[in-house]
Amino acid sequence: MTFDATITQDIDQAISREWLETNGLGGWASSTISGAHSRRYHGLLVAATRPPVDRQVLLSKLDETLIVDGQRYELGCNQYPSTVQPQGYQYLTQFRRDLFPEFTYEVGDVTLRKTVVALAGENTTLIRYEVLTAVAPFALELLPLLAGRNSHDFRHADDAPQPDFTCTDDVFQIRPQPSSPELYLAIPGATYAARPLWFYQLEYAIEQERGEQSHEDLFSPGSFSRSLAPGDILHLLVSTDSPAGRDAAALLAQEQQRRTALLPPNAAPDSLARILTLAADQFIVRRDADLKTVVAGYHWFTDWGRDTMISLPGLCLTTGRLADARLILQAFAQSVSEGMLPNRFPDSGEAPEYNTVDATLWFFVAIYYYRQASADDEFVRETLLPVLLDILAWHQRGTRYGIHVAADGLLTAGEEGQQLTWMDAKVGNWVVTPRQGKAVEINALWYNALRIASTLAYDFGQPEAGQTLEQQASRLFGAFQPSFWNADRGCLYDCLTPDGSPDASIRPNQLFALSLPFPLLTGERAEQVLTVVEQHLYTPVGLRSLSPEDARYQPIYEGSLLQRDGAYHQGTVWSWLLGPYVDALLHVHGPKLGKQRAQQVLNAFAYHLREAGVGTISEIFDGQAPHHPRGCMAQAWSVAEVLRVATSLNLNI
């Protein structure tokens, strides 16, 4: 994807588009295409010090200045209160995102291309400068701006003694703050001039928009200078490990080869399949020494059980990464406790949290699709099936948070003050969408868990267990429609509360009774549900979380944390729901008409890949048109579900 000067030299357009490079450990390099940070999370090296968590913004920026014929041209860009300074975006003639983000600057006769690369498996960012045109040598000056803080925090100027670089053989070393890791910069042939300066009140527009603290001070100990001539190529390495003696050009070639190998064969350069396959790679990261997991979203999420299991088919199976899928399933199987998958692993590395009812059930669905894709029966039989049967036993007798099978065979869950479904916003003691009782998608998932486990038990020589689970599934099937059908609206109730009263909110959760491998609705009722969802919830970027006709509907996701969490599942659009929506289209309309409609849906969505996070998919959008992107600029299940359905249907987008 390429953006010309009509975008790159318009500060409002350029600062609204972000780029992201990730390193497979949970760390990243990221900013806007203008060069000005708009989030506290932006930085040139954000290192995951305990992969995939404890992310530290070490080097926030490396602002460039060209000195040509004695004139200084600042390519950097920073936003301050009421001003942007310097305004290097004026020299940015092109931004391109393919394997890596590339920036092309033109200053007089000099054309300089910068490429930024996060190297897989290490906390290292590589920057490549290539002189495309020049009539004479010129100087490149580099100004490092240091943060040395947790990615959730801000840096502010203080009176403490500030560090300086030490240099050995073109490798410069510094510790940005006493508590941060060492930072190394390898800049071949550069000279360093110490000039300690604080840069005050850098302003981060999206933090301000979100009602958060939005100003930061950054420290620069000095600057680097390097002469460049026509045709020169300069590689820099920024790392938490000493890059002494490393061949940066070879490292770049290796990373280029790794990413190229991920791509689907014969995919067009700007095709959705190519773009989202590269985006999918950004979420698959290492957990511990030899296992994998999925970062739910950038820049602030860690790995969540629900998001991981929903994302696994699209991120791993669609892309042929079966070995990664196996390691992810193994990692979460080892973390099951009292029949429950973790909800999330905290950012500081503490023990996992288990406040979820659906992550565990999505585990069954992920395993179902994994077995279909891999035929890895030995792993499923020996490692996963015992865990699944134990999970079902815990749910039958009851586990945490009131999760248990009720007398009618439906699964019920919830305690006062707990949020257990994917609609999990909570501010203080306020659970915005408690959905306590028998939630519609939870029972669709429970039915699928029973059917999947029954099939596995039969296939792997446990017919008695298979028969018992089959009977439980049949009982649930018989109770589902009489319990959940809303005859007045021609759709499903969202939840049956503990006192038995139905919640008639029109939400997308009912779609899972149609979209999962073993649907609970067919025929006319399935068609009615799909019609209601389309009339109330469908938008070009996903499905609303609540009907606009509902008095609680929030059309815009903005403001303070309280306001945003109050809107999170009360009308805000979620793009990951396009996956189950397309599955429901196929279930109701059949493969031919369903595929035609899916093509229309994803054609309408594809423009989003050129806004917000370039080449990836945002977490959420406003419920009200024009559906402004919000939340994380790159969300795993958003990318995974769009990629999954587009690839499985072989759509040409």
Confidence of residue 349 (pLDDT cuts 50, 70, 90): low
**Nearest CA-CA partner of 162 in 144, 176, 145:** 176
Contact partners, residue 596, CB within 8 Å, separation at least 6? none
Q: What is the CATH number of the domain that holds 47?
A: 2.70.98
How far, in Å, are 3, 8, 505, 580 from residue 525 at the CA level? 46, 50, 17, 17
Lowest mean pLDDT among 128-142, 161-175, 455-469: 161-175
Domain residues for the domain of 596 are: 537-653
When divided into structural domains, the chain yields a total of 2
For tokens 């849906």, the residue is: 601
232 located within any domain = yes
For residue 413, pLDDT over 90 is answered with yes
How far does Cα 609 stand from its chain's mean position? Answer: 14
Number of residues written out for the chain: 653
For the record, the structure tokens of 407 come out as 């007398």
Mean pLDDT of 311-330: 98
362, HSE (Cβ side, Cα atoms, 13 Å): 23
Using pLDDT thresholds of 50, 70 and 90, give the confidence band for residue 350: confident
Place of tokens 């790392």: 239
Banded model confidence at residue 154, pLDDT cuts 50, 70, 90: very high
Q: Which tokens go with 446? A: 């429970």
The predicted model scores a pTM of 0.97
Domain-located, residue 379? no
Last residue of a domain, one of 238, 260, 282: 260
**Nearest residue to 328 (alpha-carbon basis) of 379, 296, 297, 284:** 284
pLDDT of residue 408: 96
pLDDT 10s digits, 266-316: 889 899 999 999 999 999 999 988 899 999 999 999 999 999 999 999 999
Establish if 414 belongs to a structural domain: no
The answer to whether position 11 is within a domain reads: yes
In sign, the C-alpha dihedral spanning 609, 576, 557, 353 is negative
Q: Could you tell me which residues come within 8 angstroms of residue 496 by beta carbon, excluding any fewer than 6 positions away? A: 410, 437, 438, 483, 484, 502, 503
Q: 375-386: buried (b, 16+ CB within 10 Å) or exposed (e) per residue?
A: ebeebbbeebbe
Residue 421 lies in a domain: no
Asked if residue 640 belongs to a domain, the reply is yes
Residue 140 belongs to a domain: yes
Taking residues 37-60, what's their average pLDDT? 97
Please say whether the beta carbons of 515 and 369 come within 8 A: no
Is there a domain that residue 212 lies in?
A: yes
C-alpha to C-alpha distance for 8 and 298, rounded to whole angstroms: 23
**Residue where one domain finishes, among candidates 223, 240, 260:** 260
Cis before 502 (ω within 30): no
Q: What is the pLDDT of residues 498-535, one digit of tens each?
A: 998 999 999 999 999 999 999 999 999 999 999 999 99
Phi-psi region of 136 (alpha: psi -120 to 50; beta: other; left: phi over 0): beta
Distance CA 385, CA 462 (A): 11
Residue finishing a domain among 242, 260, 278: 260
- 71-74/233-239 β-pairing: unpaired
The per-residue DSSP string of 329-368 comes to HHHHHTT-BTTB--SB--TT--PPB---SHHHHHHHHHHH
